[in-house]
Structure 1
Amino acid sequence: MSTSADYRAAVPHHNAITDSYLAEFAKTGIRPSELKEAVRESTEDTTFQGRSLSRPVFLTKAQVTLLADDLERLHSALTGLPDRMFGGDMAAFAHAVGTTAEQAAAAVRGRMERPPRIGRADFFLDETGFKLMEINWGSAVGGLDSGPLNKAMLAQPFVGDFVREHGLTYVDPMEALVDTLLTECAIPAGTRPVVALTDWPKSFEKLEPQLHKSAAGLAPLGLDCYPCHVGQLEYRDGAVWLGERKIDVVYRLFLMEDLMDPTGPGLIEPVLRAAERGEVGIFAPMDAELYGSKGALALLSDEANRHLYSVEELAALDRILPWTRMVRPGPVTVDGSSVELTDYALANRTELILKPTLMHAGQGVLPGWTADAGTWQDAVRDAMGEPFVLQRRVRSVPEVFPTDDGSEEWTLTWGAFMVSKGYGGMFMRGTLDPNATVNMATGATGTCCFHEA
């Protein structure tokens, strides 16, 4: 274990707020385990799965302002791809980012006049700043229920005093979500929509307690929410029903990948038809997931497409987006030179990571630096022409977290939400293993974020 003093000296970009917190916390005599236990209840039946790190993380005003600006530029470049590259042809865009024909057909139905502003961009933080790993777009993004952990941390005297004394604040993603849903679904002011939090049958078995807790949290914010799975919805009398409740909005938690389930088309088709008839709103429509495809990042990263973006968009993309390409045979541009993709991938195994375009929760991801040459070669060849991308490795700088007997270095994923009004808060999770996929489903541990006002 390293000490915080050693770490701060070794990492020049580490912000002064964190330095101050670590130094002041060390003087209190508070055991980090006591703080984690004090906030544990706020993490139960949430995306955090009952786990929390021993402190919040912090961003300066300059960091969060630049991040918010870059999110705006990323959103405009990303959601502009169908029109700029494909003349508005969503089916062609869907094919280009790695969907199946069935997924593409579902995605083009119910498309909104403008792309939805609900998503989460997942970043690593290296010596130069935030680097984008992937985007999760649409209403099924995880971590929107992270606000209660901020509140629980603020209730701890030391943390609350530190936040106030340093002029810090936070954005509650759940509050930002409600504003976005009301805006995107054109809900009349002063009304309380009835919302079905609609999951897939298999995952609903596990997530139902979490959805009930989220529904309780959304009620004071103006939504009447009822958890269910898509098989429980009924279609009659020109409306969509959950039991005897007429539904105004289907909050879509089922995913495009669920269409691959044998029962998928039969369960999803009635919802899409009801939305097309104007009987119910869907938040967010299926096309939202196309913007979360890693294939879309490959289009943004390709030098051949730079002429499509504004000067401001290019500056943001150059700051945050690592080199990313679809796994296709033929030449690609790397740092200004043309090389054969297969040759480049095999020669640079330890600097690349292989990812499926549309899967989630770390499924199918292979970091080259964790694989031997033979395994990597087989994986690249199997992925060739399939919906996979190669992305350049980002070396995330770890953050120090106090423990009862010293400190630990955690590799963090910074999940920044994009909502109707812009930056919508942060979903933080970390791992002690710098080679692991940072995902709650595979054992990551979460925390919350405060930033300078």
Structure 2
Amino acid sequence: MTVLLEADPSPVTGHPWFGRYRLAPAAGAATLRDLLRHEIRDTGYWYQTHLPAAPIALPAASYAELFRVSRALLDLVRRTALESAATTEGRLTAYRMPPSEQQLFLADQFTEERYADCVARPDIVIGPDGPRFLEFNVSGALGGPVEFHCRMEVWRRLYTDARGRLPFDYQHPFAVRAEMFRQLCAESGLPPRVAMVGSARDQGGFTRYFDLQVDHFNSHGLLARFFEPEDLHEAWDCPPRLRYGLGLRDFTIPDWAELGIDTAPVQTALDNGCLLVGTQTSTFLSSKLTMGLLSEGRPWMSAAERALVDRYLPWTRVLSHRWTTRGERKVDLVEFTLAHRESLVLKESIGMSGRQVLIGRESDRADWTAAVTAAAETGTSVVQEFVAPRTCRLAMVADGVDEPYDTEVAPVFGPLLFGGRPAGLFARFFGDGREGIVSVAGAGCSDDCVVSI
């Protein structure tokens, strides 16, 4: 079987960053559909009509670049968020956080800050000038690890040769995360036990999403258990030798609020010595306002850090009635935003799955003007330069199609970082040629593992 094919990039939307080669499909359409859907079954994942027929393959240099820059920028994001105020209370005020986010903080502020960035995943597109980081997702509940695991189970089965070798390299998020927890347990003087805190109600009523993760922990030197919030008292209200002093916070406050799930048991567990990562301070790191502050520049940044930000972050500003810089000139920010609708994107500071994003070129002038005017008054949104994504060629399968076919996709890359270590590369994209906000949840897009060749 021929494993590698010529990338054959689009002369209009392609980019050399994606490399010269891609992986050929290793099975027929029916087999691929059956395997991919079987592995991700009962995890609460959305049904996808278009599925990848092979992993996305990148040259080693491009693959490494995403992780190298992600780690450097995450450090700057952390510093930017923490220096916004000296205390949690000050940051809540500075970021104008809604009441829903003003909970689940640890009493020990050092510990709260120390473990805020344990789990992170930026969203990156490849623009005309290479990678551009659109935002940072910093949360124990970010998407990618389980999806990557399920997809990679299929790719390993199909691409492993008779000698047990794969034609590509990758990191597995479960393995890297288990090592992170082993190190955290050692650092904290705790036994190797991990509490997985979430709710099956957030996963379509199924526990398999959590079972996959718990099983991996348990088979790799850690004792793990999944806790619904109603059972979380069993993690701390027990003899010391049975306590779970460390865990993963695999839920978001907005998701639980929509489902009517009470977060009080989590706060009680935190108050009784359970450390759940990433801590609530991650909300400041995830805020789009942090991207705006970082893009505008901080007084403590070195020339090299400034150059890194200028190269990899699209121009982003916290929207309010003020003057700022755009290139070499000073502009009235609100007037500039109103006048340059087709080259800008408006984003609320807190949001998931693209729900609080307005793309200027996809909006009419009246809607754009109303949204910008309202956002300028609250000061809790950013305006960001629109990055026209470049594409790569990928084999796909779709419902009702007998054979894999090639198409151009514009992936949003999500390098997973656990404890600052590369932990696998996840990608989302539209497999049917559509453009717009890429989000698996409800947007009908597809996803895939990304590997290095």
TM-score range, shorter chain: 0.7 to 0.9
Find the partner of 1:18 among 17, 21, 34: 21
Question: Any idea what SS the aligned residue of 2:356 has?
Answer: coil
Partner of 1:389: 382
Deviation per residue, 1:133-179 (Å, 9 max, x gap): 1111021111112134223212214x759x9585x310001111222
Structure 2 runs not aligned, ≥5 long: 1-5, 397-402
Higher mean alpha-carbon deviation, 311-320 vs 331-340, is at 311-320
Q: Distance in 2 between matches of 1:42 and 1:202?
A: 20
- Contact kept, 8 Å, 1:58 with 1:450, in 2: the verdict is yes
- Contact kept, 8 Å, 1:35 with 1:156, in 2: the verdict is no
Is it true that 1:179 corresponds to 2:179 in the alignment? yes
**Residues 36-51 of structure 1 mapped to structure 2, 5 A cutoff:** 36-46=33-43, 49=46, 51=48
| Alignment-mate amino acid for residue 93 of structure 2 | H
Question: Any idea what SS the aligned residue of 2:145 has?
Answer: coil
| Structure 1 pair 261–98 and aligned structure 2 pair: CA distance change class (3 A) | farther
**Residues 303-314 of structure 1 mapped to structure 2, 5 A cutoff:** 303=297, 305=298, 307-314=299-306
Higher mean alpha-carbon deviation, 175-184 vs 185-194, is at 185-194
Q: Distance in 2 between matches of 1:123 and 1:392?
A: 14
| Alignment-mate amino acid for residue 423 of structure 1 | P
Question: Any idea what SS the aligned residue of 2:52 has?
Answer: coil
Is it true that 1:281 corresponds to 2:275 in the alignment? yes
Q: Distance in 1 between matches of 2:335 and 2:307?
A: 29
- Alpha-carbon deviation of 1:4? 6.5
Deviation per residue, 1:380-431 (Å, 9 max, x gap): 1222233222111111112222353742222211011122252221121111
- Contact kept, 8 Å, 2:196 with 2:250, in 1: the verdict is no
| Structure 1 pair 406–274 and aligned structure 2 pair: CA distance change class (3 A) | closer
Partner of 1:436: 436
- Contact kept, 8 Å, 2:195 with 2:227, in 1: the verdict is no
Q: Distance in 2 between matches of 1:5 and 1:169?
A: 22
Question: Any idea what SS the aligned residue of 2:294 has?
Answer: helix
Q: Distance in 1 between matches of 2:38 and 2:416?
A: 24
Find the partner of 1:254 among 243, 251, 255: 251
Deviation per residue, 1:334-357 (Å, 9 max, x gap): 123222222111111111111121
TM-score (norm 2): 0.83
Partner of 2:123: 122
- Contact kept, 8 Å, 1:102 with 1:259, in 2: the verdict is no
TM-score (norm 1): 0.83
Question: Any idea what SS the aligned residue of 1:423 has?
Answer: strand
- Contact kept, 8 Å, 2:414 with 2:426, in 1: the verdict is yes
Computed over aligned residues only, the root mean square deviation of the Cα atoms, in angstroms, reads 3.4
- Alpha-carbon deviation of 1:322? 0.8
Question: Any idea what SS the aligned residue of 2:352 has?
Answer: coil
- Alpha-carbon deviation of 1:256? 4.1
Partner of 1:214: 213
Aligned length: 432
Higher mean alpha-carbon deviation, 105-114 vs 37-46, is at 105-114
Q: Distance in 1 between matches of 2:310 and 2:74?
A: 14
Deviation per residue, 1:421-444 (Å, 9 max, x gap): 522211211113553221111222
| Alignment-mate amino acid for residue 299 of structure 1 | L
**Residues 100-111 of structure 1 mapped to structure 2, 5 A cutoff:** 100=98, 103-104=101-102, 106-107=104-105, 109-111=107-109
Q: Distance in 2 between matches of 1:207 and 1:353?
A: 36
| Alignment-mate amino acid for residue 246 of structure 2 | V
- Contact kept, 8 Å, 1:57 with 1:448, in 2: the verdict is yes
Q: Distance in 2 between matches of 1:60 and 1:328?
A: 41
| Structure 1 pair 194–16 and aligned structure 2 pair: CA distance change class (3 A) | closer
**Residues 264-303 of structure 1 mapped to structure 2, 5 A cutoff:** 267-278=262-273, 280-303=274-297
| Alignment-mate amino acid for residue 174 of structure 1 | F
| Alignment-mate amino acid for residue 137 of structure 2 | N
Question: Any idea what SS the aligned residue of 1:384 has?
Answer: helix
Is it true that 1:351 corresponds to 2:343 in the alignment? yes
Higher mean alpha-carbon deviation, 60-69 vs 363-372, is at 60-69
- Contact kept, 8 Å, 2:173 with 2:416, in 1: the verdict is yes
Deviation per residue, 1:53-86 (Å, 9 max, x gap): 1111122221123222212211221111245443
| Alignment-mate amino acid for residue 62 of structure 2 | Q
Deviation per residue, 1:210-235 (Å, 9 max, x gap): 22333233322334443343234337
Partner of 2:56: 57
Q: Distance in 1 between matches of 2:150 and 2:100?
A: 39
Identity across the alignment (%): 19
- Contact kept, 8 Å, 2:18 with 2:62, in 1: the verdict is no
- Contact kept, 8 Å, 1:121 with 1:415, in 2: the verdict is yes
Is it true that 1:326 corresponds to 2:328 in the alignment? no
Q: Distance in 1 between matches of 2:47 and 2:219?
A: 23
| Structure 1 pair 155–285 and aligned structure 2 pair: CA distance change class (3 A) | same
More helix by share: 1
- Contact kept, 8 Å, 1:4 with 1:407, in 2: the verdict is no
Question: Any idea what SS the aligned residue of 1:125 has?
Answer: strand
Question: Any idea what SS the aligned residue of 1:418 has?
Answer: strand
- Contact kept, 8 Å, 2:214 with 2:224, in 1: the verdict is yes
Q: Distance in 1 between matches of 2:52 and 2:420?
A: 29
- Contact kept, 8 Å, 1:46 with 1:213, in 2: the verdict is no
Q: Distance in 2 between matches of 1:95 and 1:102?
A: 13
Partner of 2:149: 147
- Contact kept, 8 Å, 2:121 with 2:417, in 1: the verdict is yes
Is it true that 1:366 corresponds to 2:366 in the alignment? no
Deviation per residue, 1:305-343 (Å, 9 max, x gap): 2x3223443232122211112221222221232222221
Higher mean alpha-carbon deviation, 254-263 vs 52-61, is at 254-263
